[in-house]
Structure 1
Amino acid sequence: MTTLRQLTTKEHDLVHWMLEHGNPGAIAFLPQLEQALVAPWQCPCGCASFNLAVPGMPDPKGGMHILADFLFGAPNELSGIFVYEQTGVLSGLEVYGLAGEAPKTLPSIVSLRPFADAVRQA
């Protein structure tokens, strides 16, 4: 039996903010966030990524569609974070390292900056 858990306040607030400030249409996933639970899966690398399950919605399948994508950290510790959906279901939050290992803790909201801004500056 799979044990789901409630999102922590930090997890909820982070995903909520990212959806509000994400790609066009991301805000439409806020109602799913209010029902979402964290799945027991843990990334083998030990990063802070987590999968979501939304009661009453089908299990997410297929390719990921990024809803919100941000960077954080200094250039020598640069990392990324994104929220994604699969087949219309809010599916998870991914944290990854760009200049090193993937972070083991979630960033603060104030540390986030749009990924698109970094691409335009490159």
Structure 2
Amino acid sequence: MSTEHNRPLTDAERDLARWMLEHGTEEARQYLDQLKLAEVTPWRCRCGCASINFQIKGHAEAPPGAQILGEFLLSDGDLQSGVFIYSSGGLLSGIEVYGLVGDAPALLPRPQNLSAFEFGSS
């Protein structure tokens, strides 16, 4: 049985999540209050990416599923990746990073390195 516990968000994690909620979908801003109560769970993705899961203090773990609240593009030279913040069952649930060209980032991006994720742009 794991003895790992939830931990507070780092300043960088909180700043990124706040920025993503402020620049995400219309409903994303309503999750800013939950962000104040969010903790990072011990879960780690097997691929080694920087994705994190949240648990909101005073609430049970969010059910499986993902409603995207904001999705952004991260470009680092020729490598492109995406990052999104999501909720499930009305609870802020986490930040997911993924690779578009190359591997998913091993570190969470900084807000100033993100741009709008535009589908179908050429």
TM-score range, shorter chain: over 0.9
Cα deviation code 1:22-69 (max 9, x no counterpart): 001100000000010000000001100000000112321132100010
Verify: 1:105 aligned to 2:112, yes or no: no
Paired position in structure 1 for 2:79:
77
% identity of equivalent residues = 44
Partners of 2:120 and 2:32 in 1: CA distance: 28
Paired position in structure 1 for 2:41:
39
Higher helix share: 1
Q: How many residues end up aligned between the 2 structures?
A: 120
Verify: 1:89 aligned to 2:91, yes or no: yes
Moved over 2 A (4+): none
RMSD (CA atoms)? 1.2
Structure 1 unpaired stretches of 5+: none
Structure 2 unpaired stretches of 5+: none
Higher strand share: 2
Paired position in structure 2 for 1:57:
59
Partners of 1:5 and 1:99 in 2: CA distance: 31
| TM-score normalised by the chain length of structure 2 | 0.93
